[in-house]
Amino acid sequence: PALGSQTLYAVALDAEDRIFVAGTFDAELQLDRPLTTNQPVLFAAALESDGEPSWSLDFTGTLELPFLQRMLAVDRNANVFLTGSFLEDAFVGTTLSSVPNAEGTPTRDVFMASFAADGSHRWTRPFGGDADDVAGAVAVAAEGHLLFVGGFRGAVDFDQAEVFVSSGGLNGYLVRAAP
């Protein structure tokens, strides 16, 4: 039996009915290998259609509960796309650092990460600005483009030609990006 708490936040299936999940755990989790931590961390895992674990990954952050809105999607090649928000520093296949505000205080930023069908890291992209940003959901279009949504305050750059500027409160975003 596992120790501590485990919570699943997202689930997706590929064309072969393999199951992909994302969630958090705060002590121990047994999947294809034992995962252990002394703080809440994000994890992603793949299970065969019969429920047998195929691979698992755990991601760390410097603050307690650094990840929010853990969402995932799977494309037709079983590539996994994971999005969430992080505060200060995090490791999601690569090290991420959030953008501080004008006073130097860390703000919550958004990440999008991709992993191959075997769990190997493909890429990770951080997005954010000088105020809190939150991830919402991610989807994969039929032609392979990614769509992701969430909210932002202040100004935010999504590696597009345009920097978005909030009208004052929390504003929604919808970004279409190449995979």
Secondary structure (3-state) at 153: coil
- Check whether 140 has a pLDDT greater than 80: yes
Quick one: what percent of the chain has pLDDT higher than 70? 83
pLDDT at 45: 93
**pLDDT class of 15 with cuts at 50, 70, 90:** very high
Is the confidence at residue 161, as pLDDT, over 80? no
Banded pLDDT at 51 (limits 50, 70, 90): very high
User: In whole angstroms, what is the distance from residue 169 CA to residue 19 CA?
Assistant: 37
**pLDDT attached to residue 64:** 40
Average pLDDT over residues 148-169: 77
Average pLDDT in the 33-55 region? 87
- The pLDDT value recorded for residue 63 is 39
Q: Is 174 exposed, middle or buried (0-12, 13-18, 19+ CB in 10 A)?
A: exposed
**What pLDDT is stored for residue 133 in this prediction?**
85
Strand 133-140's sheet: what is its strand order? 133-140, 146-152, 171-177
Considering the chain, what is the average pLDDT of its residues?
Answer: 82
Residue 58's pLDDT is 83
pLDDT tens string 58-112: 877 643 444 555 689 999 999 999 888 877 766 666 666 666 666 777 778 888 8
Of the candidates 42, 47, 58, the residue with the CA atom closest to the CA atom of residue 20 = 47
- pLDDT of residue 3 exceeding 80, the answer is no
